[in-house]
A = this chain, B = another copy of it.
Amino acid sequence: MATEKPDTLHGRILDEFSRKIVDGTWPPGYLLPKETELAAQYGVSRMTMNKVLTRLASDGFVIRRKRSGTVVAQPRAESAVLAINNIGEEVAALGRRYKWALLSSENRAGHAQDRRLLSLNEDEAQDNSLFLQGLHYSNDEPFCLETRVINTQMVPDALTVNFQHDVPGSWLLNTMPWTRARHHVRAINVSGRDATLLELPVGAACLEVLRRTQIDAHWVTCARLLYPGEAHQLIAEFDGKIGV
């Protein structure tokens, strides 16, 4: 799934197609030309084009249906690999009432403290940054403290959204095309303002998830999600051998 050798016919075409999907040139729902047509356009046999489309489908980028053709898939919010759900869905799945409360929203470069929190480089916290902080509730109890910065150069629409009503994560999920994310997970003893906001005693164990999301090479958003320790559990499942 990482960089591959693109020096084959179908490899180059696969690269081109997946790039078009990832960067939004072919948005979700876009209907691709039919197999034979694409094969003719690219001057390859149908078998070769089929290899490309079959791979795209098995990677989840497109949905193929007989008769109706091949369409770009709707990006899914979940992965079979690591279930870090949309927080709203997560709370709902527990049968609880979900609520989101925006605590602060700030254009420009944000507090130095927030930049450190999100491990941002200097050039990643420029003028085109939107800093947000808010709380996810489960049955009116704090469930997750979110601190986030959004690159408004990549997602200019974010400036027009009222994040008191729209949950940033969900909004981004629905707005952006395909993404790539990197997570850092660790345990910390909560303190200070974080503890106050989460209504936890100082020192309570919390799960800190730092998530950096990007489209192609450009970062889009960084989020720090702080979950009261035992309340939250990450689940990951693997094939192949990872560790014992």
Contacts and interface: CB of A to CB of B under 8 A. Distances in A.
| Size class of the contact patch on chain A | 35 or more
A185 B183 contact: no
Q: Which of A170, A186, A206, A233 has the most CB of B within 10 A?
A: A186
A76 B239 contact: no
Interface of A: 1-2, 59-60, 75-82, 84-86, 168-170, 172-173, 176, 178-189, 203-208, 211, 213, 220-221, 223, 227, 229-230, 232-244
Nearest to A221: B244
Contact of A188 (B81, B186, B205, B242): B205
Given A183-B234, A205-B229, A240 B76 contact: yes
Nearest to A87: B243
A101 B206 CA distance: 29
Contact of A223 (B76, B78, B236, B244): B244
A153 B117 CA distance: 48
Nearest to A170: B244
Chain A binding surface, main DSSP class: mixed
Nearest to A233: B186
A83 to B, nearest CB: 9
Nearest to A243: B84
Contacts of A238: 79, 81-82, 180-183
A76 B1 contact: no
A82 B179 CA distance: 17
6 contacts: A77-B242, A78-B242, A179-B241, A184-B233, A211-B244, A221-B244
Contacts of A220: 244
Contact of A80 (B1, B169, B170, B239): B1
A85 to B, nearest CB: 7
Pick the 6 closest A-B CB pairs, nearest first.
Answer: A187-B187, A75-B241, A187-B229, A205-B205, A185-B234, A172-B244
